[in-house]
Structure 1
Amino acid sequence: MGRRPAPPKLSEAFLNRQRDEYYWPLEAYNSKSIYLLGASKEGEIPDEMASFEILQAIATLYSEHGFTNEAIMEHHPIQQWREEGVMIPVPVLNMLVNAWAKYLEGPSGMTMGEAFNLEGHGQGKKPKRERLQNILRERQLARAAIAAYLGAGASDAGGISKSEAHAIVAERFNVSEDTVKRAHKKWEAHEMERLRVAGAFSENEDDDLGA
């Protein structure tokens, strides 16, 4: 049997941040908001729903983790937000303001859920909400699997296989290994691209992600 391909090498600066648990919630926010913006742009979820989720994530960083405005702004997914935002990014706030105006100026009988594009025509808001929560859960599992796989490759003890990473994450989150494997396969390319854009990998590294 041939030697197992090594995962991409993480940069030392990124590794130092990952070793510091302080940055973990900020990285999670960055990953989540990048997905939400992409899904909104592709029409997979309403802009307003993405905005509510991003606002909720920002509020959690502020109230539960105690991050400063400056720390949160540094981890906004796009440069424009870092320049124009204070605590709430201006584009997200505008989405909510426009939806509120739509509700106030809409025809009689329009509900707030319809104005905010969270429900309508008998569909109800619960199915959309549940689908989004399932996706965010999948991405959480995928991020954890990628972190375990890449992190082990950067350790002195040597790397592990993806299957071993799946087992670690499955035990941590109390789910099946198949559940982690499916989530990893579905979202790996998206998360790896986010890490590349964030400068997580050393330059001139092979993109082979292993087996």
Structure 2
Amino acid sequence: MANPNPPEINIENLPDEPSDATQRFQKRLRYRILSSVDAYEKGVINAAFMAFETLGTLMPLLCAGYIKHEDVKGAYPFDSWRDQTVTIPAELFEAIIRPFDEYRSAGNSKSLDACFGFERITGQGKPPMKKVQIQRDRMRKIAASVARERIFLVGVDETPNSLERAYALTAEEHNVSTDTARRAYKEFGKWIIQSLQTEC
């Protein structure tokens, strides 16, 4: 059976390729984004993967200075993308996009967790980072209580509490030992005091 002839294409009906390099980039980027959006709408990928895929395309070019954000905005296919933007340090974006790009390029040889390394950063048998961060946030709150008891919760004519007294009051408030309050303040105290002084 003979192969069917390919459809004829009328060259005159094809859209012109933009002569300006920025416009060419915007056109190609727009269709790449629309392709990802189409895959999302068909359920092939989810919103998070679509976002990572798009950012992974943009960030290396932006960070290297090859394109400007205004040029990128011109390629966004949706008004909401162009109108609702935020300014975020490029290094933060790079820290997210780099492991995703590694995951995307690794095929089946590397899991998403292995590329991001969220679960264990300090070795086998250690708790996941999200649990470590929960504990750090708890200790930071304890340190803040010590700082307030020590410095900020006193009247004009009152003598500030000693550190030991502040540890004891904080331990009672948070239902922890004074040693825990002491460790928390040792780790986070100077940052807490700086932030409280800034607030005041």
TM-score, normalised to structure 2, is 0.44
Greater RCO between the two (CA within 8 Å, min separation 6)? Answer: 1
Larger Rg: 2
